[in-house]
Amino acid sequence: MPTFYLNPRASHAPYPPELQHILNIGAAAESRAWLKHWDRINMQGTPLRELPGLAARLGMKNIVIKDESLRSQVGSFKALGAPIALVRLLLRLMPEKRLNIDALFMGSYRELLQDITVISATDGNHGRALAAAAQSVGCPCVIVLHGGVSSERENAIADYGAKIIRIGGNYDESVEEAARLASENRWYVVSDTSYEGYEDIPRDVMQGYAIIGAEVIEQCLCRQETPAFSHVILQGGVGGFAAGVASFLWQYHGKHRPQLIVVEPREADCLYQSGIAGQPAKATGAVDSLMAGLACGECSPLAWKILQPCIDAFLVIEDEAAVRAMQVLAAGRDQDIPIIAGESGAAGLAGLQTLLADEQLKKKARLDHNAHVLLINTEGATSPSIYHQLVGENALSVKVRQDCWQNRRVK
């Protein structure tokens, strides 16, 4: 059974001034400008895909998905967060050097940075993005992986020259191990989750994710008082992604902001539990999910400062729902474009389908035939063998069908 919680603390007032120092439109714009100097990322804007066939089948006015699988060779939205956090860390560490951002991403300071080691725990995508950025700028990188991370994701990280450390346990235990190793070796943690005394870098990561909100607004040409979407469904995890995107939409649209819903796995329901408690809380499940990027047991306290007043509802879904959503997106039925969405990438659609399958939940979420829904495909087939197993078709085959669809549209 789905679990759905309407947040009584959600506000549709203008973006509060006290949140400006955490996340704001100006810092997102600066991050966006900096990332244009990195040759491993697409800063032209990932596509917004309209899915009219799916919308008609589900009884919605419109369903649009932003495809972050095409953000970079990293294969996920994480390419927006880790590089910006790394750049801001280096600028803070050596302000007297007046580092040039273009030269930094080109590796011109490699000799200067050879003794600055960065480390992070990851379920795969964040570590891959950090390893790629560290390789570009020229500083050593260490990535801590827990037992649930696939060998394919490990190899993808190692391909960027990162040193891999494997531990048993889950994601939260890998976070603890990364913090321990950093303290022991005088390394620098570049993580997307905050904890006591550690907020600057998670804030920088979230600011990078806010770029997605900026692109959506520009691509839709929407005005502040008229959002293009009535509902936006965001993936959970520790909360950094949801906070980054939601904060931008809230600050831009103010009291006119869309309904914001967060979705997460049943076994990793830390945001749902935080919503009920009204403060950061731990997951009640085993923190073991097929949606590896969302299998997090503890909410980021910094992200929660944004999420508590702006997320209208929290939804918990089953792993099977994500698999069905992956298959739906890959199929591209009724003239919709086929989309390659990984397990976590398809979670937004899985959440929408879960809500629409229950009339009571559908009403609570205010989803009717007039709804304009935005989903975000946060990752592609970052573990190709798992994708093939779950979808029944390999990602290359889906890509061929996607290219054929696009070629027909051009003609």
Question: What is the full DSSP assignment across 275-298?
Answer: HHHTS--B-SS-S--SSGGG--SB
Helix H or strand E encompassing 352: helix 347-356
Measured CA to CA, the distance from residue 51 to residue 68 in angstroms comes to 16
Amino acid letter, residue 152 = E
Tell me if residue 116 falls in helix, strand or coil: coil
β-pair type (259-265, 62-67): unpaired
Amino acid letter, residue 327 = Q
317 forms bridges with which residues in the sheet? 265
Task: List phi, psi (to 5°) of 376.
Answer: -130, 120
β-pair type (3-6, 259-265): unpaired
Task: List phi, psi (to 5°) of 120.
Answer: -160, 150
Tell me if residue 234 falls in helix, strand or coil: strand
Q: Show the tokens assigned to 1.
A: 């059974």
- Active site (catalytic) residues: 78, 123
| Residues 214 and 80: beta-carbon distance below 8 Å | no
Angle at 71 between CA 115 and CA 126, to 5 degrees: 40
Measured CA to CA, the distance from residue 354 to residue 107 in angstroms comes to 46
